[in-house]
Chain A
Amino acid sequence: MALRSRQAMLTYLVLPALAVVLAAIVCPNASAEVTPPVTLKLSPETIEMGAFYDGARLRMEGKAPSGSKVMVVLRGVSKDEVFNKKDRVGPIWINVDKVHVTGPPSLFLRFSSEDVHTFLDRQTIDAYALDELSIRNRMHIRTEHGLRDPEALRLIGDQYVDLKKKEGSYRRIADRVHVTDIGNGEARYTLEIGWPKLATPGSYQVEVYACRDGRIVGQSGAALQLVEVGFPAFMAAAAREHPYGYGILAVIMAVIAGFGIDALAVLLGGKKKHIPAEAHPMPRPQPAHRTMAAAAGAGKSPPLAQDGGLPISQPVPANRAMAASAGASATRSSDMGP
């Protein structure tokens, strides 16, 4: 009887109590269930790129658990990229290989309320790909010469990240997200940035992370669309859908522009007189057979060609050619012949 009551006590009282204690030890953030969710309001959600688009202001705001650090990450879609790789060959540096990079985002902008490394550990940063190092570790690198050395591939990854940083596609800015406690265990965060005007049309992912005690306690996300509208949209569609017509149009417009500017220049500058023969002589050593023919002596001096050059259909007297040469040198030499 006593044994039964002991078993019942073990089943109904001790084990559940043990389970609660174990749960509290294993899952210390069981109380996170009551943590207020992270919200994100993106304004605007779509950036329209018209003919005179010059970038845009982008505002991100929302709520996060009180006392948490907030981090906002903007990512562009990942796309495959190809690079030339230089190496030293003898005394010079030349392209020796082609590198194909797959996986990294085309854009990576990270804004936070503090330096991320002060409130997140390396493992978490790697798990969520929250810095360039973790992006580098995730990218796939292939070279056309089949490079396999992990150290060399890692070096190429570093060089890729360096390239992206230099072109401004990868950036990290701390102390940019403003967080204010609003009570009830909640805080309000705001971030306002000038959207980079060199960012190309497409879809971008905005991610917000609330971090506390070295971990991410909540996150939210939204998509930002960059779309061409109006004239740019029309031109982009024409180039895509009617490439031949678009190409012909491009050529015609360029030719018209060229001749149009020329006509305008004539109009504004006044029509120039045709270059007279004396001002634009063509003195040059004649081909041997013509010079020899000239040396043989043609009676009358031939008239100069209308365009200022020497007559071609008739032999040229040597003395005439020399005189023309001398005259040309005195005014303006256009003879570069040897």
Chain B
Amino acid sequence: MAKLVLAAVFAFTLPLFLPIAGVSINMGLLASVGMVVGFLSGLLGVGGGFLMTPILMMIGIPPIVAAASDTNAIVATSASGVAAHFRLNNVDFKMGGFCLLGGLFGSAIGVQAVKILRARGNADLLISVMYVVVLGGLGGFMVYNSLVKLRRGVMAPKIRKAGSNVFSTFLARLPFQMDFARSGVRHSVLLPFVLCSMVGIMTALMGVGGGFIMVPAMVYLLRMPAHVAVGTDLFQILFTCIGVTLMQAASNHTVDVVLALMIAAGSTIGAQLGARVSRHMRGEQLLIVLGVLALVVCLKMAVGIALPPSNPLSGAGGHAMLKAADHNAALVCVRDFVRSSLWH
């Protein structure tokens, strides 16, 4: 066993030449980065692209290869996360399917919205403001709401009078009602479809995978348990990223399988750990972590757009989270993918 560990440690110190990126990087560095991001992915159901792509760019991977290979790595991470969450009964496949359809539809609309806004010349301004407002508002709400619930502790939750909620009544009267056994809810299929379409529009505008927005939307609006929302979101991310990977490989030739597998080696292990840790955390605690993460990113974005940059020029293939109001290469491919699959 000790020899095995030593061999693994030695292997991690070796350099690895990445054939598509065309650069040499230490294996251990790639796996470690993957593990940290994978942990967050398994714990919170976020794809991790918002963290991974900038980190890869920082260690010398060309932006477009970083974005494409990161998407391929997320396939592995989310597959591992889905498997782990599936064993824990945390994946609602039926809900995930409707969300996936809605997300694709919304992304297609979002793509056109971006196109129109870009033509008018105010897309970047809107996107910057959206980042700060959406992430800040969502993060703040999640943290506040979860803290309130945690403070309430073991006391019985507040029970609302049946029928007192106009929104619930409206939802109950929608057509195509369906049971979602795993989530323990009954909704019209229109609800997850429309909701995920709206999230899809926002993700297309903001250039993020959607985990940040999708998980809270599932929890607060679809009323899914937080753990099931995380598992179901990973299920949806898996399919989205498969599509994007295929599109990137076919159109840009920028998917570096070696890079993706090295990241995936770390991130799948991290995702497993994340999923296991999530079992020992209360839903509120998970949402607090996600909310704090959203607030940190929001703060970074706010600082990024408020302070003058050290250099006004930046690579056009970078990630949106790194550069305020900038769409990443992966998003461009998501748009291309959605556009080609739905409208052509």
Contact = CB atoms under 8 A, between A and B. Distances in A.
Interface of A: 49-55, 82-89, 91-96, 98-99, 156, 159-160, 162-163, 166, 197-198, 200-201, 228, 231-236, 239-240, 243-244, 246-251, 253-255, 257-259, 261-263, 265-266, 272, 274-275, 280, 282-292, 295, 305, 307-310, 312-313, 322, 325-326, 329-330, 332-338
B171 interface: yes
B248 interface: yes
Contacts of A283: 157
B335 interface: no
A254 B255 CA distance: 12
Nearest to B187: A287
Contacts of B257: 235, 246, 249-250, 253
Contacts of A290: 172, 186
Interface in B166-212: 168-169, 171-172, 179, 181-187
Nearest to B307: A93
A335 B157 CA distance: 10
A101 B70 CA distance: 27
A251 B245 contact: yes
A248 B246 contact: yes
B156 interface: yes
Nearest to A282: B184
B83 A259 contact: yes
Contacts of B182: 307, 309
B16 interface: yes
> Among B60, B88, B219, B253, which residue has the most Cβ atoms of chain A within 10 A?
B253
Given A231-B19, A290-B186, A330 B249 contact: no
A265 B272 contact: yes
A91 B226 CA distance: 38
Given A51-B17, A85-B312, A231-B19, A92 B128 contact: yes
Given A265-B84, A284-B185, A255 B79 contact: yes
B313 A288 contact: no
B96 to A, nearest CB: 15
A337 B172 CA distance: 16
B260 interface: yes
